[in-house]
């Protein structure tokens, strides 16, 4: 069974204080690892897809990296508007299955 | 360029009633997915549909829940005889055909069973 564990559950940062969120996963053949951002009362917003170990992707203050067992979401010099829950999900290679297995998320709060 | 549209945004039902949740995918997207988010829990996959076909319903409860994506019109998630444990946020997502892509999620329907 595919599993995703995110840590920490919650993280409070000061504005400008860089940090990383962790996503550990087990999957029977990885098709893709996804990062989403979710604001309260809204649906998840797609951030990145990573497909193979060693891959990195960046968007503004966010950078996602992938190894064979985990992914990191690095947040550089965060701003209050980066406050949200960040979700990690994996999709297995199993042909035809497109289900994503999500972690429980990391709630990030950035204080001014 | 409208995103994934879900309605209603909020739905209140009494125990035993039926709930119907609607989802219109993004233009050009032919694949629809339903997820449920229980309070303080992560998103859980329910069902994956293409037009007139259920592809994967491995996450659907065996009873009371059904989903469809007709040739014309939105996808419908139907919950019969709702119970308090069905209270949750239900999210629909869509993607284009072909290889996997990051889904685009709608804003969800928050179902409250009283």
Interface check A18 vs B, CB under 8 A? no
How many residues make up chain A in this entry?
A: 112
- Is B44 at the interface with chain A, CB within 8 A? yes
Residue A81 reports pLDDT greater than 80? yes
Cβ separation B104–A32 shorter than 8 A: no
Tokens 């809204």 locate to: A42
pLDDT in tens, A84-107: 999 999 998 876 778 899 999 999
With b for 16 or more beta-carbon neighbours within 10 A and e for fewer, the B52-90 pattern comes to eeebbbebbeeeebebbbeeeebbbbebeebeeebbbbb
Q: Indicate which of B103, B106, B108 best probes the interface with A, i.e. most A CBs within 10 Å of its own CB.
A: B103
Mean pLDDT of the region A65-82: 97
pLDDT digits 0-9 by tens, B61-82: 999 999 999 999 999 999 999 9
Asked if omega into B34 is within 30° of 0 (cis), the reply is no
Q: How many CA atoms lie within 13 A of B95 on its CB side?
A: 15
Longest dimension (CA), chain A: 46
> How many distinct helices (H) and strands (E) make up chain B?
0, 11
Return the pLDDT at A94: 77
Interchain pair B33, A98: CB under 8 A: yes
* DSSP E strands, A1-112: 3-7, 10-14, 19-26, 30-38, 45-50, 56-59, 62-66, 70-75, 84-92, 100-102, 106-111
């Amino acid at each position: 069974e595919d599993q995703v564990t995110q840590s920490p559950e919650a993280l409070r940062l000061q504005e400008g204080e860089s940090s990383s969120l962790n996503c550990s996963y087990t999957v029977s053949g990885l098709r893709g690892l996804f990062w989403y951002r979710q604001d309260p009362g809204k649906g998840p917003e797609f951030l990145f897809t990573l497909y193979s170990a060693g891959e990195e992707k960046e968007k503004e203050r966010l950078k996602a990296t992938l190894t064979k067992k985990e992914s990191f979401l690095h947040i550089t010099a965060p701003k209050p508007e980066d406050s949200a829950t960040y979700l990690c999900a994996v999709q297995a290679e199993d042909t035809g299955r497109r289900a994503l297995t999500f972690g429980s998320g990391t709630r990030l709060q950035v204080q001014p | 360029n409208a995103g994934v549209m879900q309605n209603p945004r909020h739905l209140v039902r009494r125990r035993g009633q039926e709930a119907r949740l609607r989802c219109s995918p993004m233009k050009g997207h032919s694949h629809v997915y339903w997820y449920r988010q229980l309070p303080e829990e992560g998103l859980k996959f329910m069902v994956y549909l293409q037009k007139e076909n259920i592809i994967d319903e491995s996450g659907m409860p065996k009873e009371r829940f059904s989903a469809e994506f007709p040739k014309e019109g939105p996808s419908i998630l139907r919950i019969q005889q709702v119970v308090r444990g069905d209270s949750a946020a239900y999210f629909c997502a869509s993607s284009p055909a072909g290889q996997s892509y990051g889904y685009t999620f709608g804003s969800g329907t928050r179902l409250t069973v009283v």
